[in-house]
Amino acid sequence: MSYSTTIGSRLVGAFLTGMLLIGPVAAQNCHPEGSFDAWLQSFRRDAAAAGISEGAINPGLKGVRFDPAIVKKDRAQGVFSQTFLEFSDRMVAQYRLDQGRANLKKYKSVFDRIEQQFGVPGPVLSSFWGLETDFGANIGNGPTLISLATLAYDCRRPQLFHDQLIAALKIIDRGDLSPGEMRGPWAGELGQVQFLPMHYVDYGVDFDNDGRVDMLRSSPDALASAANYMMHLGWRRGEPWLQEVYVPNELPWEQADIAIKLPRAQWVRWGITAAYGDALPADNLPASLLLPMGRNGPAFLAYPNFDVYLEWNESLVYSTTAAYFATRLAGAPRVGRGKAPVDSLSASQTKELQTILAKAGYNVGEIDGIIGAQTRGSVKDVQLRLGLPADSYPTTELLGRLR
């Protein structure tokens, strides 16, 4: 997706840090080579030193140029300022559910083989497949090599994209894709599950046994590669990832933190129950209480496998939506609306809150209107200090108190 709801967005876009300058003039300020052409010549030497053949370097870098429009898109991401329900209601649309269920049947033998080899179930893979590219229908058509070179020359994250461009040339060198086939969204991702080139090189799987890893056209290759990556991130075979629950009116809300894992039995003792289906087992399976919109909104138990979602994309809104989508494909009903209307801040109000907290000495990360992990942690501390329920979710009431 063009706004980096991708496997690479934990690296390329969830938190906008760094420079705000755009274009070659700004880039020259941080590159000793000076111009983009001079930088490109230096990069050619780096690629050769990395063992890439001239047969890949020359066609791969032919016609590569700096594109200021890519930098503007990199600076303009804001979709994750939406609430979980706003984002999930839009992204987990009925057509995606219908197509996801159809694909689980169509590719059943592929999903079964993948789960047997890597331990990742079909609904989990199909949810990423659907969110990233609508099951391969929208993989992007921008010039990947130009995107990577532009972001490598830009000053915000040059080393990251320098290495991604090296990896892209490795993909060409080993015969997986030609330079002309390397097309995708603006941030340089490739294929049906939107891998950055380094992930393509490190975790790509030739699952259809045609002699190359082709995540653009081969759904088996793309899905198996995603499963291979998730397995390496620590996916636990046979365990759940996310479960909707009901929470009581009173709870030690400060324990509702994705970083806090307690035995499921402890959550049961505090009165948490399953939202549907069988009773919640009072066992020792570690779980976090995830309240993406605070104590009055939807509630989930997030299990160790949910950590893999946060590795895929560190945006809590995206990761919760992807995990929820997978539960829907596995048979869960539509998520509840919560216990009461949720008093959410707008993006501008969130920026105001972040500014106030930053002036008070809190580390909220970038002041971007996105309720990320650092903002949530700061809000939790302030709530505790003010004697408010410490569910880590900012409200207009809290903002008013801080004003």
Query: What is the structure's pLDDT at 366?
Result: 87
Are 161 and 34 part of one and the same domain?
yes
Tell me if 15 is assigned to some domain. Answer: yes
Tell me if 266 is assigned to some domain. Answer: yes
Are 61 and 202 part of one and the same domain?
yes
Structure tokens at 267: 């959550």
Look at residues 208, 232, 256 and tell me which one is the last residue of a structural domain.
208
The tally of domains found in the chain comes to: 3
Which CATH number does the domain housing residue 51 bear?
Answer: 1.10.8.350
Across the chain, which has 403 residues, the per-10-residue mean pLDDT values are 45 35 45 86 97 98 96 76 93 98 98 98 98 97 98 94 98 98 97 98 98 98 98 98 97 96 98 95 98 97 98 95 98 95 93 96 92 94 95 95 92
Query: What is the structure's pLDDT at 265?
Result: 98
Are 200 and 51 part of one and the same domain?
yes
Tell me if 341 is assigned to some domain. Answer: no
Look at residues 279, 303, 329 and tell me which one is the last residue of a structural domain.
329
Are 71 and 172 part of one and the same domain?
yes
Look at residues 266, 297, 329 and tell me which one is the last residue of a structural domain.
329
Give the 3-state secondary structure of residue 225: helix
Tell me if 395 is assigned to some domain. Answer: yes
- Nearest C-alpha neighbor of 156 from the set 9, 69, 44, 26: 26
Query: What is the structure's pLDDT at 19?
Result: 33
Are 361 and 323 part of one and the same domain?
no
Are 154 and 23 part of one and the same domain?
yes
Query: What is the structure's pLDDT at 76?
Result: 73
Query: What is the structure's pLDDT at 80?
Result: 66
Are 283 and 183 part of one and the same domain?
no
Cβ–Cβ under 8 Å, residues 147 and 67: yes
Query: What is the structure's pLDDT at 75?
Result: 78
Are 258 and 312 part of one and the same domain?
yes
Query: What is the structure's pLDDT at 66?
Result: 97
Q: What is the DSSP string of 125-192?
A: HHHHHHHHHTTTT----EEHHHHHHHHHHSSSSHHHHHHHHHHHHHHHHTTS--GGG-EE-TT--BTT
Tell me if 34 is assigned to some domain. Answer: yes
Cβ–Cβ under 8 Å, residues 140 and 191: no
Tell me if 126 is assigned to some domain. Answer: no
Structure tokens at 139: 């993989």
Are 322 and 261 part of one and the same domain?
yes
Query: What is the structure's pLDDT at 29?
Result: 57
Packing angle, helices 54-61 and 158-173, rounded to 10: 120
Are 285 and 184 part of one and the same domain?
no
Are 254 and 307 part of one and the same domain?
yes
Tell me if 93 is assigned to some domain. Answer: no
Look-up: residue for tokens 């259809």?
Answer: 208
The domain of 357 spans 347-402
- Nearest C-alpha neighbor of 23 from the set 53, 59, 55, 66: 66
Query: What is the structure's pLDDT at 84?
Result: 96
Tell me if 131 is assigned to some domain. Answer: no
Are 314 and 252 part of one and the same domain?
yes
Longest CA pairwise span in the chain (Å): 66
